[in-house]
């Protein structure tokens, strides 16, 4: 079963995150192994399997990158950096500039510069998510649309990693601060 089926959601990118939480919650109430402590081994096993499945589906759908990957798989498109088109030279140039900017800001502890970079990249990430949302909407995407969306997925992965690095830097700075 694909993660959308597991949680009974329509396979679109722009899912209602509150609804997702609620469905996971309701499924957990019904399936969690805590509900089957007194049951026989076969039911305990079945509950464990289904609870694992529900948690896994929830984890995949909560995150925009893994949700997009699930949608590509559903559309029959292989996922993974090896199977996807190469990033454009223009994008790679931008990436290099952002990376250099971050490295410099980190070296001189320029908090404002880091915030600015993180803001820029976040905005770009939202742009990619919008494209993915329009690709994977109620209507089935065509092959051309899927190709364009693949590029956005690749970029979104980069933005995600970049923002994680920003978090790591902020965290390191906070932990160093004398109280």
Query: Residue from 3, 15, 118, 159 that binds another protein (CB under 8 A)?
Result: 15
Structure tokens at 174: 């906070």
**Ramachandran sector of residue 140 (left: φ over 0; alpha: ψ -120 to 50; beta: rest):** beta
Give the other-Cβ count within 10 Å of 177's Cβ.
6
Residues 76-135 that bind another protein (CB under 8 A): none
Distances (CA, A) of 146 to 5, 12, 51, 73, 127: 21, 14, 32, 11, 16
CB of 85 or CB of 173, closer to another protein = 173
Stretch that binds another protein, among 46-54, 71-79, 96-104, 109-117 (CB under 8 A): 46-54
Question: DSSP letter string over 46-79?
Answer: HHHHHHHHHHHHHHHHHSHHHHHHHHHHHTT---
Stretch that binds another protein, among 12-20, 73-81, 98-106, 148-156 (CB under 8 A): 12-20
CB of 44 or CB of 147, closer to another protein = 44
Task: Look at residues 154, 16, 25, 8 and name the one whose alpha carbon lies nearest to residue 79.
Answer: 154
Residues 133-172 that bind another protein (CB under 8 A): 138, 167, 171
Q: Is residue 30 part of the contact set for another protein (CB under 8 A)?
A: yes
Q: Is residue 43 part of the contact set for another protein (CB under 8 A)?
A: yes
Q: Is residue 40 part of the contact set for another protein (CB under 8 A)?
A: yes
Q: Which residues bind another protein (CB under 8 A)?
A: 7-10, 12, 14-19, 22-23, 25-35, 37-43, 45-52, 55-56, 58-59, 138, 167, 171, 174-175, 179
């Amino acid at each position: 079963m694909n993660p959308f089926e597991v949680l009974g959601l329509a396979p679109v990118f722009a899912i209602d995150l509150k609804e997702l939480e609620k469905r996971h919650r309701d499924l957990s109430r019904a399936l969690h192994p805590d509900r089957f402590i007194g049951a026989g081994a076969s039911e305990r096993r079945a509950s464990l399997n289904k609870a694992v499945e529900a948690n896994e589906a929830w984890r995949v759908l909560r995150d925009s990158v893994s949700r997009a990957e699930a949608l590509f798989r559903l559309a029959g498109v292989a996922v993974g950096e090896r199977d996807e088109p190469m990033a454009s030279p223009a994008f790679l140039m931008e990436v290099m500039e952002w990376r250099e900017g971050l490295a410099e800001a980190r070296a001189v502890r320029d908090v404002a510069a880091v915030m600015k970079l993180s803001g820029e990249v976040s905005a770009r990430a939202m742009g990619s998510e919008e494209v993915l949302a329009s690709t994977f909407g109620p209507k089935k995407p065509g092959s051309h649309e899927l190709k364009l969306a693949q590029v956005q997925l690749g970029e979104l992965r980069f933005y995600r990693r970049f923002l994680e690095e920003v978090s790591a830097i902020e965290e390191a700075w906070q932990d160093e601060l004398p109280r």
